[in-house]
Structure 1
Amino acid sequence: MSPTKQRTAWAFLAPVTVYLALFYAFPLYRNLDLSLRDYTVRSFVQGDAPFTGLANYRKVLTDPTFAPALLHTAVFTTVSLVFQYAIGLALAVFFDQNFRLSATLRALFLVPWLLPLIVSASTWSWMLNSESGIVNAALHALGLGQVNWLTSPSWSLTSVIIANIWIGVPFNLVVLHSGLQSIPASLYEAAAIDGANAWQRFWRVTFPLLRPVSAITLLLGLIYTLKVFDIIWIMTKGGPADSSTTFATWSYQLGFGNLLPAFGPGAAVGNLLVVAALVFGLVYVRAQRKQALS
């Protein structure tokens, strides 16, 4: 490559490199530095926090909130992903029929995805309100008792999961529907000629060919769901009694939710989320490489 072409290539790479350095590398470095030092409000401003090594991580791992927050994060992420993907796939297959008003209805399903999270979470808070919520009003009309969706430790996690599923379904619908569009119609015709019914065509043609799209959909959904904060904080603030606290809300509570903020432990919890997302990302890359080699 000639020097002119090399300079041109670097010129095109420069904006991306600067962007990644400023908005990804530097924040990650600062978060790692926060987790390895004993920061207070004064030392955060003056920058003279003493180095404590892994003390903040030990403090987090031995904290009584760690085990419940880990469980809630796992349940919140797993249940959200399963239902978002299943409902999104069902809707994608449904809208793949290209019936009348299909495009219009599909566009309407995008509304939850396009709304600001604060609007969606506030709407769900109103709907699930124990006294004046429309959901309890519907249950009352059916002769069922009142459910304290947001104020009961037994229901708070379920409530935020329901809201998160509603918000995430449109993303799965859009991506999976685009994947369905790339499957040749001739494969379905060949399967029909061989005597396969609609259910068999789905499991033997549609689902296997959607695996690459499904994998990236689930990975992106996993990374997003791990760091969900807005929905939980607006609806329950992680309560009551930490019954809906996840790593994302716990990190915020440690760093900003107290009069005496614990910046170091809060950053440590945030880094645990980063590591979890990185691990799943590496697993996905490894699986893709194996699939490509096979």
Structure 2
Amino acid sequence: MQGNAAFVGIENYVAVFGSKTFAKALTNTALFTVVSIAFQFGIGLILAVFFRNNFRLNGVLRGLFLVPWLLPLIVSASTWSSMMNSDNGVINSALSVIGVAPVNWLTSPDLVLASVIIANIWLGIPFNLVVLYSGLQNIPEDLYEAASLDGANAWQKFWRITFPLLRPVSLITILLGLIYTLKVVDIIWIMTAGGPGDSSTTFATWSYREAFGTGNPDFSPAAAVGNVLILIALIFGFIYLRIQNRTEK
């Protein structure tokens, strides 16, 4: 019995890796994760450096940037889906003002992945802003003052002081962002359900679709796809630990 169970378990993985959906889901997962994290971290870092300078309404503006993070995901995803509606979405309405034809954001196989990536970037920026801004507060102001006395410009201060000292916080921010992005289901599912076809299907949405998204749920392949996601997350976790150990040495 145990041998049969093991064989069935292996059979599930063989079915997953041999599925025509696998290659598309792998590509989409990689693009969705890498592009989302790159823009979330980059924009979050720019905003964190910007808000490090004290000015009027600093706190108010930072609070406004936290709104996407505080909203329930179902609300945010539904809002983006409505905004990107081909017929009466606010984005196409704005584009029509400048003479641009309606864009099929959520129904075009060529644009749908980019559309859900844009929504996910918007949702992830506040997290990066908060963590990186907290990291910036731990950098002594004396270092910047000394650099100014030595004639360093803003870019030199960032590249030689801010970026190196923010590296530990940056690494953990990217790792947490990667783990979160790999398992994103609700945003994509609410906006596109992984479609059209498999154009926006990732491993997370594929697993969800197999388990809950059809009339005949099949938890075996869903679990197999989920385990692949766990393995990917573990690999990046070990990479992070290795980099962290090298940094400490």
* TM-score of the pair, normalised by structure 2: 0.97
Match for 1:207: what amino acid? F
Shift in Å, 1:95: 0.6
Distance (Å, rounded) in 1 between the aligned partners of 2:215 and 2:126: 39
Distance (Å, rounded) in 2 between the aligned partners of 1:50 and 1:257: 26
Distance (Å, rounded) in 1 between the aligned partners of 2:45 and 2:165: 13
2:85 equivalent in structure 1: 129
Counterparts of residues 77-156 of structure 1 (less than 5 Å):
77-156=33-112
1:53 equivalent in structure 2: 9
Larger radius of gyration: 1
Distance (Å, rounded) in 1 between the aligned partners of 2:94 and 2:214: 38
Distance (Å, rounded) in 2 between the aligned partners of 1:272 and 1:57: 9
Distance (Å, rounded) in 1 between the aligned partners of 2:235 and 2:205: 21
Distance (Å, rounded) in 2 between the aligned partners of 1:187 and 1:141: 49
1:199 equivalent in structure 2: 155
Task: Call closer, same or farther: CA 1:109–1:140 in 2, change over 3 Å.
Answer: same
Counterparts of residues 166-205 of structure 1 (less than 5 Å):
166-205=122-161
1:280 equivalent in structure 2: 236
Q: 1:232 aligns with which of 159, 178, 188?
A: 188
Distance (Å, rounded) in 1 between the aligned partners of 2:84 and 2:215: 30
* TM-score of the pair, normalised by structure 1: 0.82
8 Å CA contact 1:232–1:249 kept in 2: the answer is yes
- CA RMSD, aligned part only? 1.5
Distance (Å, rounded) in 1 between the aligned partners of 2:183 and 2:45: 23
Match for 2:8: what amino acid? T
Match for 2:70: what amino acid? L
1:208 equivalent in structure 2: 164
Q: Kindly report structure 1 stretches of 4+ aligned residues shifted beyond 6 Å.
A: none
CA deviation map 1:124-163 (0-9, x unaligned): 0010000110000111111111110011111110110000
Shift in Å, 1:258: 2.2
Distance (Å, rounded) in 1 between the aligned partners of 2:165 and 2:87: 48
* Helix, strand or coil at the partner of 1:118: helix
Distance (Å, rounded) in 1 between the aligned partners of 2:225 and 2:196: 20
Distance (Å, rounded) in 2 between the aligned partners of 1:292 and 1:90: 26
Match for 1:73: what amino acid? T
8 Å CA contact 1:118–1:230 kept in 2: the answer is yes
8 Å CA contact 1:109–1:170 kept in 2: the answer is yes
Identity %: 66
Match for 1:88: what amino acid? G
Q: 1:76 aligns with which of 26, 29, 32?
A: 32
Match for 2:179: what amino acid? I
Q: Does 1:158 align with 2:111?
A: no
Match for 2:196: what amino acid? P
In the alignment, structure 2 segments of 5+ residues that lack a partner are none
Distance (Å, rounded) in 2 between the aligned partners of 1:160 and 1:240: 12
Q: Which moved more, 1:135-144 or 1:75-84?
A: 135-144
Shift in Å, 1:120: 0.2
Q: Does 1:292 align with 2:248?
A: yes
Distance (Å, rounded) in 1 between the aligned partners of 2:55 and 2:212: 50
* Helix, strand or coil at the partner of 1:54: helix
Shift in Å, 1:51: 5.5
* Helix, strand or coil at the partner of 1:170: helix
8 Å CA contact 1:37–1:53 kept in 2: the answer is no
